[in-house]
Amino acid sequence: MMTADASVLDNLPAPPCARLLGWRILAVKPQEGWIKVAFDARWEFTNPAGYIQGGFLAAMLDDTMGPAVFAMSDGKLYSPTIDMQVSFLRPARPGPLVGEGRVIHLGKSIAHMEASLTDARGALIARGACSARLVEADKALA
């Protein structure tokens, strides 16, 4: 099992949206812009067919990519999403899901990231890619 390197995320309280999704860090490599997080896909997130509604899956992907930038910049940069593309590959049932994200490019004002979401069996549920504006965290999070 991969262990988490120390990162700026270690002592940062999770925001309400992350707590709702059951977000918790499994591993992070700040220098590489890589993160692995766990989510709890709750029954309350299901659509009428009993699968996790796509908006929640997209939120999980988004909450995987953004923290990768925050960790890579040692907490100096916040990354509000400009655009995001999501491919839903198979339906997800309630239960644990794992997000793995990485920073593809960290520019001066824009970052590009990608992420994947897998279920407890390791089956790929969804993939996402996004662009985000880079904002100084002390200004954005004040």
Mean pLDDT of the chain: 93
Q: What is the mean pLDDT of residues 113-138?
A: 96
Q: What is the mean pLDDT of residues 121-125?
A: 97
Q: How far apart are CA 101 and CA 85, in angstroms?
A: 14
CB 41 within 8 A of CB 52: yes
Please report which confidence band the pLDDT of residue 142 belongs to, taking 50, 70 and 90 as the band edges. Answer: low
Q: Which domains does the chain have, with CATH numbers?
A: 16-140 (3.10.129.10)
